[in-house]
Structure 1
Amino acid sequence: MAAAAAVAALRPHLSLLSAGGGATPISSLQALAFVSPPLPHYRRRCVLRSNASSSPSPPPSPEKEKEAEAEAVPTAESCVNLGLELFSKGRVRDALEQFDNALELNPNPVEAQAALYNKACCHAFREESNKAADCLRTALRDYNLKFGTILNDPDLAPFRASPEFKELQEEALRGGEDIGSGFRRDLKLISEVQAPFRGVRRFFYVALTAAAGISTFFTIPRLILAVQGGDGAPDLLETAGNAAINIGGIVVLVALYFWENKKEEQQITQISRNETLSRLPVRLSTSRIIELVQLRDITRPVILAGSKASVTRAMQRAERYRTELLKRGVLLIPVIFGASQKAQSKPRGFGSSRSVASVSSVGDDFEKRTESIAAKSRLKAEVRFKADIVSPEQWESWIRDQQESEGVTPGEDVYIILRLDGRVRRSGRGMPNWNDILQELPRLENLLSKLER
């Protein structure tokens, strides 16, 4: 007898920009809405064949049933599902074969995005950064993959520490036909929120430049007549002065326009760097591993990067001011250069089932807000004075990029102080002067701290 059985919907391994297990609110000014749309649901039929004997045979396990169905009628959906199942068991090579098969079976755009993305995760697990970058580049360009997914996914942590990721990120910042403009468009939206009058200023620069150009267009014939002289000729000094003012105004306005564009590019780069920083993991004193984004509105992380001796001395000096620093929400994060050893990544089973998003009601929203407040309260209780980094290679890569952008020699001792909203407050060479930091940072209950959130 044939019976219809509901099976799990096909979804790519796409991590949302949520923080840890609980729902943590992220400021719209700082977080990028990189959430890929869920894949549509599919239903498949299972045919259960009755046994001729009186004793019923045990039903096949879902895993064997999935493999048998993929072998019997291979589809892009079944190949992706089987590949996820194989990867969760550590069979990375077999999972790669299934994702390749899915790409050869005329997949729809959503299935192709899932196959390419999960294939990139497999290559990242095998430390094949070039192949992972190629898969992600294709998914970004052709199948509307959100770049924030790459920033957020822990399975791509080895890839994010590679030079290929930096190259891919720079391409995404520039935008274009080779990689798409989705990432750059999202960053520009955040940039416009942080600098709301930049567009207005540029509009006036263009309008005033056009007005000065039109005025110059009519002034030049008058200047020629003034130079030639004769009856009815305009005054030479007055006409030359008007032309000089118009031409000078055009030069100044064009320079201001290009200066605004340069500032926008610098801001977009900094936003991207801040977003990368927010996804770096740390281990709290309770051994709980979280991302920096989860500490927003709670702490002011202070990153101490340098040699072991320098960082140790700075930590010891900070202990003298521990009480006052804690009142200001300071969380020390030591990063020792050269101490990172590339540990072999473990599969995290990105084929595991995830809950399907449904239309939220008012009660659901209230419940989510309540859970968010409770999760933040628990997290605040776990935060102490120091947190340890989890992925040293990612931290060192980010600090090197920050040093290059600030004109500091890579590998030099530096400190970086973050705001409560997660942005970089200031940075400097060497180790910080804790007395100066106490004078600079207001206490958490202070009005200035509330405005900083």
Structure 2
Amino acid sequence: MNEKFSNETKLRSEAQAPFRVARQFLYASCALSATIGFGIATIQLLTGLAGAPNSPPFDQSVSNVGIDGACAALFVFLWKKDEEAKQKQMSRIGREERLGGLKVELTTGKIVRMQSLRGFSRVVLFAGDLEYLEKSLEVAEEYKDELIKKGVFLVPVAMDDEAATKLNKPDNAKKDERRFRGSAVNVSQKDGWRDWILEQKKMAKLGDDVGVYVGLRMDGRVRASGKGVAPFDRFAAELPPTDGGWGGMMDGFDGKVGVDN
């Protein structure tokens, strides 16, 4: 059964691949034309074999059948390849949209959806057990000043009860902490953080106990993901600084760090 996508997901898909509809229409039209030609050529070949008068030469009929059949197969293949790419892209966008609906608690106690952070921060979320989360926060702390300049905002996601209860909370009294870290909310509820993370792990064929990270662009699209501690050193070195720390009109086009997988 095909996955159902929202209208917003479909619109984002079309915006990211504006010529796909035209290509698919062209491929479908050519495939239909070639299929009709193949059918006509096949009939002519059969009537020629039956000895019908005024039928095209045998060699010409065979050639027409071969050419039209090959063209039909080619354009069907191209259409299916584009359709598969479309479905894959919409699946990715759908996952990003679901991620945008998940909730984060800021150090002030305010709860916002991830999509509210778009245009303001480059979220890096990482999910795992207590040891993994503490190690990730420790590494990120080494590059804290640079990461803040680059608009990086950390969201640790506790995947078990021990991590949820023992992980140190960000300190609202520290101004830089407010801009550097939040906390995932409603991790265990249905279609919450845990379900989203487990879906990503399943697609990547990773075990449930593996610590993973996902780095987002300012427009909410996934820039980089992987297992283990996120490459905070590369984020700090390669990401462009935000204008005034919290964004500018070109933040949605902030490129990518070359660690995508």
Please state if 1:268 is matched with 2:63: no
- Pair 1:451 & 2:249 matched: no
Q: Deviations over 1:61-120 (max 9, x none)?
A: xxxxxxxxxxxxxxxxxxxxxxxxxxxxxxxxxxxxxxxxxxxxxxxxxxxxxxxxxxxx
Length-normalised TM-score, structure 1: 0.46
CA distance in 1, matches of 2:229, 2:103: 22
Aligned partner (choices 186, 195, 200) of residue 402 of structure 1: 200
Mapped to 2, the partners of 1:186 and 1:435 lie a distance apart of 35
* Shift in alpha-carbon separation, 1:331–1:231, aligned structure 2, 3 A: closer
The answer on 1:304 being equivalent to 2:126 is yes
- Which residue is 1:114 aligned to? none
Question: CA 1:251 to 1:231, structure 2 compared with 1: closer, same or farther past 3 Å?
Answer: closer
CA RMSD of aligned residues (A): 3.4
Alignment CA distance shift 1:243-1:326 (3 Å): same
Amino acid at match of 1:451: F
2:27 equivalent among 205, 208, 212: 205
Shift of 1:259: 2.9
Equivalent residues in 2 for 1:198-237 (5 A)?
Answer: 198-224=20-46, 234=57, 236=59
Q: Is the 8 A contact 1:284 1:382 kept in 2?
A: no
Q: CA offsets, 1:210-262, max 9 Å, x none?
A: 121222233334545777899996362x6534432321221122222233333
Q: CA deviation at 1:409?
A: 2.7
Change (3 A) 1:441 1:243: farther
Which runs of structure 2 are paired with 1:19-418 in the superposition (5 Å)?
Answer: 173-174=3-4, 184-224=6-46, 234=57, 236=59, 239-339=61-161, 383-393=178-188, 394-418=192-216
Change (3 A) 1:340 1:420: farther
C-alpha contact 1:225 1:234 (8 A) present in aligned 2: no
Aligned 8 A contact 1:335 1:389 in 2 = yes
Which stretches in structure 1 are left out of the alignment for 5+ residues? 1-169, 175-182, 343-379
> 1:313 and 1:293 mapped to 2: Cα distance?
27
Identity within the alignment, %: 31
User: Cα 1:297–1:223, aligned 2, differ >3 Å: closer, same or farther?
Assistant: same
Structure 2 gaps of 5+ residues are 165-174, 256-261
Call closer, same or farther: CA 1:186–1:388 in 2, change over 3 Å.
closer
Deviation at 1:263, TM superposition (A): 2.9
- Match of 1:311, SS state, is helix
- Residue in structure 1 matching 2:231, options 433, 437, 440: 433
- Give the drift of 1:296: 0.8
- Partners of 1:442 and 1:338 lie apart in 2 by 34
Letter in 1 for 2:185: V
Residues 254-296 of structure 1 deviation map (CA, whole Å, 9 limit, x = unaligned): 2222333333333333333222211222222233222212111
Q: What is the TM-score with the length of structure 2 in the denominator?
A: 0.76
- Check conservation: 1:222, 1:234, Cα contact below 8 A: no
Pair 1:185–1:321, CA change in 2 (3 A) = closer
Letter in 1 for 2:161: A
| Aligned counterparts of 2:123 and 2:114: Cα–Cα separation in 1 | 8
Q: Following the alignment from structure 1 to structure 2, what is the Cα–Cα distance between the partners of residues 438 and 239?
A: 66
Report if aligned partners of 2:217, 2:252 keep a CA contact under 8 Å in 1.
no
Residues 258/392 of structure 1: CA separation in 2 closer, same or farther (3 Å cut): same
The number of residue pairs the alignment matches comes to 237
Provide the rounded CA distance (Å) in 1 between the counterparts of 2:146 and 2:233: 10
CA distance in 2, matches of 1:326, 1:381: 8
CA distance in 1, matches of 2:221, 2:132: 25
SS of 1:411 mapped into structure 2:
coil
The alignment partner of 1:392 has SS state of coil
Contact 2:118 2:220 in 1 (8 A): yes
User: 4+ runs of 1 displaced by more than 4 Å?
Assistant: 221-233, 380-383
